[in-house]
A and B are shown apart, each in its own frame.
Chain A
Amino acid sequence: MKSLRVGLIVLLTAVVVFGLLGPWLPVGSATAPAGRPFAPPGPGHPFGTDFLGRDMLARLADGGRMMLLQAIGATVAGSVVGISVGTLTGLSTTPVTRVMLRVVDGLSALPPLLVLLVLATGTPGNEVVVAVAIAAVSIPFSVRAVHAATRDVVRQPYVAIARARGDGPLRIVRYDVLPNILEVVGAEAGIRFIAAAQFAATAGFLGLGASAPAANWGRLVRENLPGLDLNPAALLVPAALLVALAVAVTAFVDRFAAGPATLARVVPR
């Protein structure tokens, strides 16, 4: 079990490093044709070529960074807002926090794709706006998850005792709430990161953000779908990268969020 988890974390690191550093790798041009379309893997082209005859390896190396940065940025922003608003509304029920929750709920009613389209078409070609849109649509989920987890902790007697002796909300969040909701926060951020990565891939496919020749793992899947028979690698490799990212992120989050003396082993050997 442990070696599996270590393996997954190594995989995550590899995928993220490849994605982030890809554009600087010496793998040739991501836009210049290098052979006939949908050529199968061969010498010089380990993953074959895509629908315009461009080297798949170069396309993959080029297509990860912006998507990952958008996903990471949107996840971090979502978590920051989610943790602040979620713990605040979970800790005390005042008219202000109730209104905050209702606003967040209202936000979650907006269709994510519509938000993305409206924001991104307002400023064509801007990748940052795509990240902002992804963050905006994911915040309600983060707030709700953190809020519910906080409510659970706040009901515990140790919080009642801390409150009784006058510990303020910040101290209670820092010592009592955060350490005990870490697993929920981590798992929630992980699943939101995967959704954000998929969303960034979708944005690429729709031509939002940087336009056509720019690569994006999500866009690579769609672009090369017609060539499944000729060069399956052109479709499967970017899809596999997205899957590996998803699985490895959740494994990493589990590892990170497992605190001391919390994981009870039912069958130890």
Chain B
Amino acid sequence: MNVVEVNGLGLHGANRAVVTDVSLALAPGRILGLAGPSGAGKTSLAHAVIGYLRPGLTVATGSVRVCGFDPFTASGSRAVRGSRVGYLGQDPASGLNPARRIGSQLAEALRRRPGLSDPRATVAEAAESVRLPADLLRRYPHELSGGQAQRAALAAALVGRPELLILDEPTSGLDVTLRRQVTELLCGLGAGTSVLLVSHDTEVLRHVAHDVLRMAAGRLVASAGPVAVPAPVTVPAPAVVPAPAAVSAPATVPAPAVVPAPMTVSVPAAACGSSPASRSDTLLRAAGIVAGYGRATVLDGVDLHVDPGQCVAVVGDSGSGKSTLGRCLAGLQAPWRGQIAVRGRAVPWPAGRRGADRVAVCYVPQDSRSALNPREPVAVALTRAGRAASRAGRQAADLATLLDLVGLPGLKDRYPGQLSGGERERVNLARALATCGDVLICDEVTASLDEQSERSVLDTLDRLRHELGLGIVLITHSPVVAARADATHHLAEGRLT
């Protein structure tokens, strides 16, 4: 019997079809990949498998069977959820209970597996399997980095040994090494667990999935069939680690890792012809930033400067403090020590006290779900940001231009709950752009985007910095993204090199 059978499923929203006529089957022990661009309906389909429909969606046609149960009935969803199916959603930080420690949440997930002799050891084992350091089990979700939260949520999905694992972008926030380890882990699950793997990451899909289905605009477009490298149980070849130079988009000229004079970097042909802003003063200069949480020091004397039109990438291991640095720069978090100067003027924390400079540094957060007000349509969120810019004496861009810039025309009336993960990330980006800042801190903004959307967002950022002299700090784990930057800094042990 197939673990999952979806027959002619159609999901309809208020005025459009989100998923149309999708049929698929997943046999025991198999790993089925689901690929496709942002907003194609991948997550809606994965949700339907556990019988969840986001508000406003209805099942128009077809049926879903999971282990023989209909997850849309009350008894079916009880039989399926938690025990037979493990689920890892997008934006895993929002999916963890903020009021409980990670270890307790893993133990909670274990309750579905009665008769264990040593639950504590099983929890530790699950944490180890996703390379989550044991001391993090004592922490609360908000004390974890994005990548650590993702691994904790993955451990919670795995620990109950479900028959079916539904993983929605399980590797989006992970760097190359961790991604390889998670890939190995998935390959080693064995015959007892089937996996429905939603991912935009073709590398991961290629090495893990037995079959890959591709979705576009709510339909399955082509079944790739068994893929070229069907070696799921063996450890994948080291080719998972992409060589950055080989993968980088051809339009860009990756600068050497030495800090270059920003204005002399050759401008990509794709960027507009106008000359970069002639201001030569440093937009943002951070000196000796020391920050941490409780008694733990995360940043230990970080110096960074961003010139007009310059793009600086900050890379580093999961949990190394990349987001903390971003939040300090943007004024969302006050560091223990250190100074920040915007255009040569020292500015205080928090950002709201920076006078006309308060919108100078904008932060695009990593967890795109919690960064958007759930009761506010996209248009209102962007208009508000624009008004904040006007009050600070800047020229606000209009709504349609902003949405076009991030490739989301026609979404202005949607609420965040009606957007896909990739769309939410781009709305966050558009909102930051709406404040017309001088420096944009992008924290993993392309992590849950497919290659094409990622390229178009990065192209947009390139264009903006060349046209408007915007400075950009790209916080990323991806060598492909970092290759776009003029300079790449590594954050390790609290220091930037």
Contact = CB atoms under 8 A, between A and B. Distances in A.
A163 B371 contact: no
Looking at B53, B72, B367, B389, which has the most chain A CB atoms within 10 Å of its CB?
B53
B374 A261 contact: yes
A265 B55 contact: yes
Interface stretch (A108-116, A175-183, A210-218, A237-245): A175-183
B232 to A, nearest CB: 34
Interface in A22-67: none
A263 interface: yes
Contacts of A156: 370, 373
B391 A166 contact: yes
Contacts of A268: 51, 53, 58-59, 72
Contacts of A158: 370-373
A262 B435 CA distance: 28
Given A175-B380, A267-B74, A161 B55 contact: no
Contacts of A160: 332
Nearest to B57: A268
A160 B428 CA distance: 14
Contacts of A157: 365, 367, 370-371
Nearest to A159: B373
A261 B54 contact: yes
Interface in B352-382: 352, 358-359, 362-363, 365, 367, 370-376, 380
B388 A263 contact: no
A95 interface: no
A259 interface: yes
Interface in A142-182: 156-158, 160-167, 171, 175-176, 179-180, 182
A164 B332 contact: yes
Given A261-B55, A268-B59, A269-B59, A164 B331 contact: yes
Nearest to B376: A175
Given A261-B417, A264-B54, A162 B384 contact: yes
Nearest to A179: B375
Interface string A194-233: 0000000000000000000000000000000000000000
Interface in B286-341: 330-332
A260 interface: yes
B362 A165 contact: yes
A163 B332 CA distance: 9
A161 B384 contact: no
Contacts of A269: 59, 72-73
Interface residues of A, number: 28
Nearest to A181: B375
Contacts of B384: 162, 167, 171, 175
Contacts of A167: 384, 388
B164 interface: no
A48 B54 CA distance: 53
Contact of A166 (B332, B374, B392): B392
Nearest to B75: A267
Contacts of A182: 375
B474 interface: no
A266 interface: yes
A156 B367 CA distance: 11
Interface in A101-157: 156-157
Nearest to A174: B384
B393 to A, nearest CB: 11
A266 B359 CA distance: 40
Contacts of B415: 260-261
A71 to B, nearest CB: 29
A165 B370 contact: no
B435 A165 contact: yes
Contacts of B59: 268-269
A164 B52 contact: no
Contacts of A164: 330-332, 350-352, 358, 363
A180 B351 CA distance: 24
Given A165-B358, A165-B385, A266-B77, A260 B72 contact: no
Contacts of B72: 267-269
B375 A166 contact: no
A163 B350 contact: yes
A163 B55 contact: no
B56 interface: yes
A261 B424 CA distance: 15
B418 interface: yes
Interface string A248-262: 000000000001111
Interface string B384-428: 110011011000000000000000000000011110000000000
Given A164-B358, A166-B392, A167-B384, A262 B55 contact: yes
A175 B383 CA distance: 12
A162 to B, nearest CB: 7
Interface string B85-97: 0000000000000
Interface string B31-60: 000000000000000000001111110110
A259 B375 contact: yes
Interface string B61-78: 000000000001110010
B417 to A, nearest CB: 4
Contacts of B359: 165-166
Interface string B210-231: 0000000000000000000000
B374 A262 contact: yes
Looking at A157, A163, A268, which has the most chain B CB atoms within 10 Å of its CB?
A157
Contact of B373 (A179, A263, A264): A179
A167 B389 CA distance: 10
Nearest to A180: B375
A175 B367 CA distance: 20
In the A-B complex, list the 9 residue pairs whose CB atoms are closest, starting with the nearest.
A261-B417, A179-B375, A164-B351, A165-B388, A166-B358, A261-B415, A157-B371, A158-B373, A261-B55
7 contacts: A165-B359, A166-B358, A166-B392, A167-B384, A180-B373, A261-B374, A268-B53
